Amino acid sequence: MTGDAARLALPERTVASRLIVVARAARADDYDAVLEALAAAGVRSVELTLTTPGTFEAFPRLRDRFGGEIDLGIGTVTDSAQLARAIEVGADYVVTPVTSAALVAQATAGGVPIVPGGLTPTELFSSWSAGASAVKVFPAGQVGPSYLADLRGPFPDLVAVPSGGVDLRGAEQWLAAGALAVSVGGPLLGDAFRGGDLGALRERAAAFVAVAAREGAEAS
């Protein structure tokens, strides 16, 4: 079964906040302090990436500590074994950088929302029609917010989350253009995973949270 009949909604906190922070660290031990700062700034959804060694092993502990405040997804999922492990450890959602109907079907069968990546209309519609919870427009910095309006012509129901190169102004523009949420990494995290000032991280995060909240209020 594909399409709306099988489509799983993303977690309510993620949808309400309209902001997903992509946390890509050198090691999983670095997650805690950054997640604490993000939670304090009002971030309610974080994607932990599999390019960070030890993410699977750290996930249950992080969910115990932060799950009451933050939806924790697992990203950079590229194959069936990784997806099965993400489901097993209890990811609130999964994100892939690729277009794969098989991964969409596996996640849906496992009861976990999935956001597959793609850039072309064919890739994005393929994932959406397979039953993805939303599609990740990646790398979003290569197309810009007007691309979403172009996609909405032939695909009016498409639910999109831009990712890759989305800065504060871009977040505002993508959300105003109708994105469900924005996925933000470097422009928000800066040097936080390299020993940077966590107070400055909280300030940057709070600025993104405010933009997302404002655009959410205007959309409603």
Which residues in the chain come in under a pLDDT of 50?
A: 1-3
Residue 219 is predicted with a pLDDT of: 64
The SS3 call for residue 153 is: coil
Annotated catalytic residue 36: no
Residue 1 is predicted with a pLDDT of: 39
Residues 6+ apart with CB under 8 A from 107: 8, 83, 87, 94, 113, 114
Q: Which of 12, 36, 47, 88 is catalytic?
A: 47
Q: Which of 136, 172, 203, 218 is catalytic?
A: 136
Annotated catalytic residue 218: no
Do 125 and 101 contact (CB within 8 A), yes or no? no
Residue 22 is predicted with a pLDDT of: 98
Please report which residue ranges of 7-100 form alpha helices under DSSP H. Answer: 12-17, 31-40, 55-66, 80-89
Residue 6 is predicted with a pLDDT of: 79
Residue 220 is predicted with a pLDDT of: 56
Residue 4 is predicted with a pLDDT of: 61
Please report which residue ranges of 67-167 form alpha helices under DSSP H. Answer: 80-89, 101-109, 121-130, 146-152
